[in-house]
């Protein structure tokens, strides 16, 4: 059964003296005032705000306005009733005031006592939080054949399981396009919110034992995931609003007038000026072999010692173009790998035998994570890759 939203019982106090108290039981009218306007606010992640306006006929004196619903998850503690001001150009606007509100027992209903200084109509706004009317976001990304730019389309998906239909309704997610749509019962609607053209792509290749593990553990070959990195700012054709969490389906122009599906990932919430990273597969033509070349400890005093660890990376790029490889190591995980976890954070410095030319990435490194970069040349004309060898030298201080 559909919820029934607004019925109006008009009670004229001038007749109270001639009618017995038993005659004032609640009466619900069959004809409901038509909604004049509905707005649904979707900006809160876990609550949906509905505001509806109706024109209600009033008589002079006190009127009872009855708001009732059934089989609909309206939160009764959030219902607000407001009488909107009449236009200033009206010859004699009504003076309308809300006197009180009551809750009929064992019913999903509210009753407001509304006083009017004359007979006529009043525009009222009723707002409430409604359950089972939810939204989610998803994206479609289409990269160019050279993977330099992409087109990112952002969609909002609305699912209405609230057991109520809405006619022409304003929909707004707190940013982006304001939609005017009808919403049926049990209906799912998907709408295009934004389309970002020519968004620059930074394609990254990452070697991280702790985050991505080994592709071939017996040969110490690391898994090398690839990501498209998009920066959410105006300089990169975006920056209109934070990007919401949602699934991203990723395609690439195949160079023949069509697109090929290359994968999907969950795009994380991305504030302005931040980056969204999208996984696009594992690089099979970038080989990284990681080994522990040195693991020594030197006594400092008592049972304290310094531990020196050298992690060696042998890298080959079989692609036909040069790339940059990001290398990340968690220092505490390295200590656990060569020794044991004593429960303490690691006090460490970079040793002089580190060979990465630019040193550590100060912006992306943390108190226990080292991020470095190395440029890799394209494979030769004979198809062979030049092996590049780099070392990370860590000195862990005051271990026991």
pLDDT tens-digit map of 255-281: 999 999 999 999 999 999 999 999 999
Mark whether 164 and 274 lie in a shared domain: yes
Whether residue 21 has pLDDT greater than 60: no
Residues making up the chain, counted from first to last:
400
Domain boundary among 282, 297, 320: 282
Whether residue 221 has pLDDT greater than 60: yes
- Element housing 328 (H / E): strand 323-330
- Element housing 392 (H / E): strand 388-399
Q: What is the pTM of this model?
A: 0.85
Q: Are 203 and 147 in contact (CB under 8 A)?
A: yes
pLDDT confidence tier of residue 90, bands split at 50, 70 and 90 = low
Q: pLDDT per residue over 271-307, tens digit each?
A: 999 999 999 999 999 999 999 999 999 999 988 999 9
1 within domain boundaries = no
Question: How many domains are there within the chain?
Answer: 3
The pLDDT, as a whole number, for residue 373 is: 97
Q: Tokens representing 18?
A: 């001639």
Cβ count within 10 A of residue 352? 8
344 within domain boundaries = yes
The pLDDT, as a whole number, for residue 45 is: 83
* Residues whose CB is less than 8 angstroms from the CB of residue 13 and which lie 6 or more positions away in sequence, other chains included: 61, 62
Mark whether 187 and 257 lie in a shared domain: yes
pLDDT confidence tier of residue 17, bands split at 50, 70 and 90 = very low
Domain boundary among 110, 130, 150: 130
Mark whether 227 and 155 lie in a shared domain: yes
Beta-sheet strands, E only, within 254-285: 259-267, 275-282
């Amino acid at each position: 059964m559909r919820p029934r939203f607004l019925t109006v019982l008009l009670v004229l106090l001038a007749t109270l003296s001639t009618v017995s108290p038993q005659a004032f039981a609640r009466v619900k009218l069959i004809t409901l005032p038509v909604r004049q306007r509905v707005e649904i606010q979707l900006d809160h992640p876990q609550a949906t705000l509905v505001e509806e306006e109706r024109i209600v006929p009033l008589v002079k004196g006190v009127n009872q306005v009855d708001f009732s619903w059934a089989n609909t998850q309206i939160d009764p503690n959030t219902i607000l009733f407001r009488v909107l001001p009449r236009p200033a150009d009206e010859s004699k606007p009504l003076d309308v005031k809300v006197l009180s509100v009551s809750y009929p027992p064992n019913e999903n209903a509210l009753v407001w006592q509304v006083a009017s200084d004359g007979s006529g109509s009043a525009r009222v706004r009723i707002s409430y939080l409604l359950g089972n009317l939810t939204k989610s976001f998803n994206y479609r990304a289409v990269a160019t054949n050279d993977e330099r730019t992409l087109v990112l389309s952002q969609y909002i998906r609305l699912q209405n399981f609230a057991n109520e239909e809405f006619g022409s309704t304003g929909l707004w997610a707190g940013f982006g396009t304001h939609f005017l749509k009808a919403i049926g019962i049990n209906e799912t609607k998907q709408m295009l919110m934004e389309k970002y053209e020519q968004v620059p792509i930074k394609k990254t290749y990452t070697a991280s034992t702790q985050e991505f593990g080994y592709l071939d553990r017996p040969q110490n070959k690391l898994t090398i995931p690839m990501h498209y990195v998009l920066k959410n700012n105006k300089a990169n054709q975006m920056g209109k609003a934070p990007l919401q969490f949602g699934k991203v389906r990723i395609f690439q122009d195949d160079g023949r007038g069509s697109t090929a599906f290359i994968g999907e990932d969950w795009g994380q919430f991305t504030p302005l000026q931040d980056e969204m990273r999208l996984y696009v597969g594992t690089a099979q033509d970038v080989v990284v072999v990681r080994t522990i070349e040195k693991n020594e400890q030197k006594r400092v005093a008592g049972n304290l010692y310094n531990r020196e660890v050298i992690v060696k990376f042998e890298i080959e790029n079989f692609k036909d173009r040069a790339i940059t490889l990001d290398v990340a190591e968690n220092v505490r995980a390295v200590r656990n790998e060569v020794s044991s976890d004593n429960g303490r954070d690691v006090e460490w410095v970079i040793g002089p035998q580190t060979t990465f030319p630019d040193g550590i990435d100060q912006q992306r490194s943390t108190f226990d994570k080292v991020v470095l970069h190395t440029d890799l040349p394209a494979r030769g004309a004979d198809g062979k890759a030049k092996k590049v060898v780099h070392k990370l030298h860590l000195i862990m201080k005051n271990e026991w």
